[in-house]
Every structure is written in structure tokens, then in C-alpha cells.
């Protein structure tokens, strides 16, 4: 999906970096009117799911993959909806056209507000990728004990990741890696995690994490490049054996990890660098920059 006809950006008015237009079930409303009742199931029962889709250079990145995952989350959360992929694509294009921006992160919310069908909201936020230094040198992370409920559903139940992000901020690091009750590293607060051990790319078992669109693309690229890959439990006790590690997400792409708690991994290793470059080339070509 692409947009090419816009030549200027809509100013932001500094409210959590959110642009001023919002779509509610396909209708334009102002950001100030994007409200929901506090007594709705979306609030009291956390009945809602979401997706974040990158708009870069006027192109939506992996829009189809995000749309399919959103529908899977809707089904998993047992939400009633008349949302279709074609309707969602139309709304994505409409939102980008009224915002008149080439670069943003679009959030799609599907909420149970007690109506016949779940309500769908779309809004966009400023796209703020990590710094050049972060990609060059890697970022520090910490370990945090906690796990998301039903991880394969991208739900609004984000208390544990939210607490982990607070812990990461207090520690002055980029993010936190969640460690479940079995002592296994599963994911970051808003990202997937990979490790490299003895030349093999490792990722947590598919059933234990939300499969990020970037994660899936990185796994495909690794296979195409002949990099050995394996899905396995990432035990905390095995971190000492890792030679490399990195995060993947919509806004990060492939972001190297340089330190986990007190364990220093050093600068990005060969496999991390290869996959970072391969993913960036793939995304650049997709958005017309390659």
C-alpha cells in the first residue's frame, strides 16, 4: 500500500505525539472526541486488541501481515466485528490522506464498547526510530520477571509489559526482556528477541510469543541467507552462552543488544549486522527507497 501525492506534514500539537485526526468506524472525528465509556467491557474487562503499522515514505509496511494478525487477535479475543481487510485498508489510506504525512505509526484499536460489533479506532503517532548510535553500538536491556496473558493475542492487557517498561526507564536502559515463571526469556515489552549462539540464530518457541511481522520477515531472510535458525526456549541460565542478541519490532526493525543486566555482549556481531542490513534493504525496497 502506498501514498505518493502528499508534499507536507500536518503539525503536531504535542499530545503524546498523536496527530489530530482519528477514525472511528471509518468516520473522521477529532482527537479530543476519541473517548470511550469507563464502564465499557473494553475498560472493565480489557476486551480489546490492537495493531501498530508503520507508514514510511508514504507506504504502509507489511499492512497485509498486520491486518491478518489483527483478525486473528479479534478471533482469539472473541470480539464480534464486521471489519474486513479491504475495509481496514481503505481506512488506513483515508487516515494517511487527511493527516498528510509520509511517516507515522498508525495504531488500530478494536474495542468492545458494548455495541453489536466492536468499535474500530485508527490514529497515528510520530514515527521515532532508534538513533544511528543505537543501531551502531547496540542498546542495554534488563531482565524483568513477568509474562503476558495469552501472548498470541495482541490485546490491551499490557499491565506486565507496562510495569517492565517502567523498570527499564528507572534503570536507564532501552527496554526489558520478560522472563516467565519457568525462567525463560520470551520477548521484550513491545518487541521480539533473538539470540545467536555458536553461529545459530535462536528465537523463542512460536507458541510462547506474539509473532511480530518483523520477526517473521527476519526468520525468512535468515533462511534465504543460509543462516542456521532454531526455535527453542531461551533460558535465563543460557544467556552467558550468547554471542549476540537483538530486538525486532515495527519501529525498531533489527536493533542490536549490547548489554543484558550486567552481561556485556559487545558491539553488534556478524549475524546481527547481516540481518539488520538485509531487513533494512527489504524495507527500503518496499517503501521505494531501495
DSSP string covering 68-122, please?
A: HHHHHHHHHTT------HHHHHHHHHHHHHHHT-SSEEEEEEEE--SSSS-EEEE
Number of domains composing the chain: 2
Asked if 199 and 255 sit in the same domain, the reply is yes
Q: Are residues 55 and 151 in the same domain?
A: no
Within a domain: 100: yes
CA atoms within 13 A on the CB side of 213: 21
pLDDT in single tens digits along all 290 residues of the chain:
443 333 333 443 445 589 989 999 999 999 999 999 999 999 999 999 999 999 999 999 999 999 999 999 999 999 999 999 999 999 999 999 998 889 999 999 999 999 999 999 999 999 999 999 999 999 999 999 999 989 999 999 999 999 999 999 999 999 999 999 999 999 999 999 999 999 999 999 999 999 899 999 999 999 999 999 999 999 999 999 999 999 999 999 999 999 999 999 989 999 999 999 999 999 999 999 86
Residue 277 lies in a domain: yes
* Strand partners of residue 55: 60, 104
CATH number at residue 28: 3.30.470.10
Which domain range does residue 44 map to?
Answer: 18-125
What's the pLDDT score for residue 99? 85
- What is the pTM (predicted TM-score) of this model? 0.92
Residues 101 and 243 in one domain: no
Amino acid at each position: 500500500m502506498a501514498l505518493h501525492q502528499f508534499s507536507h506534514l500536518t503539525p503536531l500539537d504535542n499530545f503524546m505525539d498523536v496527530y489530530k485526526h482519528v477514525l472511528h468506524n471509518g468516520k473522521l472525528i477529532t482527537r479530543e472526541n476519541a473517548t470511550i465509556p469507563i464502564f465499557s467491557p473494553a475498560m472493565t474487562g480489557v476486551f480489546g486488541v490492537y495493531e501498530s503499522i508503520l507508514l514510511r515514505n508514504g507506504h504502509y509496511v507489511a499492512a497485509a501481515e498486520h491486518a491478518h494478525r489483527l483478525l486473528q487477535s479479534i478471533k482469539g479475543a472473541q470480539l464480534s466485528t464486521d471489519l474486513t481487510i479491504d475495509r481496514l485498508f481503505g481506512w488506513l489510506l483515508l487516515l494517511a490522506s487527511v493527516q498528510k504525512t509520509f511517516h507515522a505509526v498508525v495504531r488500530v484499536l478494536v474495542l468492545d464498547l458494548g455495541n453489536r460489533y466492536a468499535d474500530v479506532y485508527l490514529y497515528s503517532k510520530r514515527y521515532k526510530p532508534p538513533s544511528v548510535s543505537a543501531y551502531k553500538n547496540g542498546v542495554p536491556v534488563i531482565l524483568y520477571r513477568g509474562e503476558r496473558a495469552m501472548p498470541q493475542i495482541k490485546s490491551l492487557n499490557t499491565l506486565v509489559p507496562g510495569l517492565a517498561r517502567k523498570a527499564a526507564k528507572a534503570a536507564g536502559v532501552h527496554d526489558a526482556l520478560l522472563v516467565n515463571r519457568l525462567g525463560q526469556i520470551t520477548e521484550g515489552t513491545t518487541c521480539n528477541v533473538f539470540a545467536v549462539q555458536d553461529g545459530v540464530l535462536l528465537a523463542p518457541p512460536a507458541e510462547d510469543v506474539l509473532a511480530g511481522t518483523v520477526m517473521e520477515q527476519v526468520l525468512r531472510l535468515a533462511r534465504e541467507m543460509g543462516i542456521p535458525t532454531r526455535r527453542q526456549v531461551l533460558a535465563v541460565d543460557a544467556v552467558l552462552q550468547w554471542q549476540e542478541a537483538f530486538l525486532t519490532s515495527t519501529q525498531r526493525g533489527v536493533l542490536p543488544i549490547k548489554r543484558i543486566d550486567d552481561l556485556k555482549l559487545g558491539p553488534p556481531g556478524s549475524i546481527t549486522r547481516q540481518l539488520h542490513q538485509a531487513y533494512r534493504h527489504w524495507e527500503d525496497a518496499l517503501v521505494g527507497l531501495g
